[in-house]
């Protein structure tokens, strides 16, 4: 499958749940594994999409804030190749400020075997940049960074 979205739909100015309903209409017609981009400025769209994806198996691949105030949400239709790694251990660090999530992840990873995967969940605003930087200098490989609701992210780290 190409990384190029099959469809881009701009629903800025539409109140929730219109962006979710628009995304559903489009994604229902996509093939498994295809992606679409939804542009929205409704503040509830992220939470709506997150809950809907958990329910349907579709994937919220990314959410990027645009300079014009819109957010571009990339959605992937369920049924394609598995993109989320399977974790051996989960560490939920929501509510803990940086660098706490990295320090605790390091402790857990030190006790894990090479090749095992840690799922780290954090809502610290700096965690995305911190974990990406840390993974370049630590004996870990950052396999995936997935957005969750309310600014939290899932990080999948494999011990080298």
Q: Name the CATH code of domain 7-76 (choices 3.30.110.40, 3.40.640.10, 3.90.120.10, 3.30.540.10).
A: 3.30.110.40
Domains 7-76 and 89-159 share a fold: yes
Strand-pair partners of 142: 157
Q: Which positions are annotated as active-site residues?
A: 98
Alpha carbon 43 to its chain centroid, in Å, reads 17
90-126 pLDDT per residue, tens: 999 999 999 999 999 999 999 999 999 999 999 999 9
What pLDDT sits at residue 82?
58
Kindly indicate whether the domain formed by 89-159 is annotated with CATH number 1.20.1090.10.
Answer: no
- Domain ranges for the chain: 7-76, 89-159
User: What distance in Å separates the CA atoms of residue 102 and residue 93, rounded to the nearest whole number?
Assistant: 9
* pLDDT per position as a tens digit, 19-31: 999 999 999 899 9
The pTM for the full model equals 0.57
Indicate whether 54 pLDDT > 70.
yes
The SS3 call for residue 61 is strand
């Amino acid at each position: 499958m190409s990384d190029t979205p099959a469809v881009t739909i701009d629903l800025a100015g539409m109140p929730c749940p219109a962006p979710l309903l628009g995304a559903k209409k489009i994604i229902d017609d996509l093939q498994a594994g295809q992606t679409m981009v939804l542009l929205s400025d409704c503040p509830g769209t992220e939470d709506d999409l997150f809950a809907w994806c958990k329910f349907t198996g579709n994937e919220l691949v990314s959410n990027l804030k645009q300079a014009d105030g819109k957010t571009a949400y990339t959605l992937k239709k369920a049924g394609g190749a598995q993109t989320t790694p399977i974790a051996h251990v989960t560490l939920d660090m929501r509510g803990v400020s940086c660098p706490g999530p990295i320090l605790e992840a390091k402790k857990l990873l030190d006790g894990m075997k090479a090749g095992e995967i840690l799922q780290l969940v954090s809502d610290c605003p700096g965690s995305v940049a911190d974990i990406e930087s840390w993974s370049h200098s630590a004996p870990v490989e950052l396999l995936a960074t997935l957005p969750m609701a309310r600014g939290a992210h899932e990080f999948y780290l494999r011990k080298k």
